[in-house]
């Protein structure tokens, strides 16, 4: 989904900026930077019209600013004109919710996101909001990875997470419903550390 790809790109950009990888050479020598992440896939259904709801909520904890949570939403259902099932609306926002992240132990995110929903199949644009209230709790062992990045070394620690709470999506004339994590494999906590020099 586009939401997953765009947010993953944001994570890579934040890590690169934090690690000084955008300015190679002596400026990157002798540095160590960290950034934390939490993520969870969310699914739901509008009980009134049967439309399916999907999102990926992600928390970022960059070193130079407070932690924050971001997400976009996809609303699916029968396409106009009998074209089968597909995406009816994409609901996006530039806003963030407040969040916290405690290493690989836990994370949380909460707040309200204003949304603008556009349709790839020509339905009228709509506005709405999402109420976020989620918590991650790390479970099980930590998987550790090490990657050679030229003059730098990236350390990536990943731990599965149990997720509580969810998101309520409210977009009149589009969808109203609650999204929760239904697949534990889609929830995790991550810590990335880049050491240069």
Which residue(s) pair with 142 in the sheet?
159
- Per-residue HEC secondary structure of 1-37 comes to CHHHHHHHHHHHHHHHHHHCCCCCCHHHCCEEEEEEE
pLDDT bucket at 6, cuts 50 / 70 / 90:
very low
Residue 40: is its pLDDT beyond 80?
yes
pLDDT, tens digit, for every residue of 151-184?
Answer: 899 999 999 999 999 999 999 999 999 999 999 9
Closest of 190, 173, 188 to residue 77, by C-alpha: 173
Question: How much is the average pLDDT of 131-149?
Answer: 96
CA distance 94 to 176: 21
Question: How much is the average pLDDT of 132-152?
Answer: 95
Helix (H, G, I), strand (E, B) or coil at 81: coil
């Amino acid at each position: 989904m586009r939401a997953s790809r765009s947010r993953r790109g944001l994570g890579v950009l934040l890590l690169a900026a934090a690690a000084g990888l955008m300015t190679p050479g002596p400026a990157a020598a002798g540095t160590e930077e960290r950034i934390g992440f939490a993520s969870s896939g969310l699914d739901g259904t509008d009980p009134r019209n049967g439309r399916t709801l999907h999102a990926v909520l992600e928390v970022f904890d960059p070193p130079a600013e407070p932690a924050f949570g971001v997400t976009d939403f996809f609303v699916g259902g029968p396409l106009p004109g009998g074209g089968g099932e597909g995406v009816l609306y994409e609901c996006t926002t530039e806003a963030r919710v407040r969040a916290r992240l405690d290493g690989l132990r836990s994370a949380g995110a909460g707040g309200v996101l204003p949304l603008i929903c556009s349709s790839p199949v020509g339905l009228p644009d709509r506005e709405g909001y999402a109420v976020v209230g989620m918590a991650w709790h790390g479970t099980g062992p930590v998987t550790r990875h090490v990657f050679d990045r030229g003059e730098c070394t990236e350390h990536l620690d990943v731990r599965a997470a149990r997720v509580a709470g969810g998101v309520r999506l409210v977009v009149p004339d589009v969808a109203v419903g609650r999204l929760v994590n239904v697949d534990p494999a889609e929830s995790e906590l991550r810590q990335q550390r880049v050491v240069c020099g």
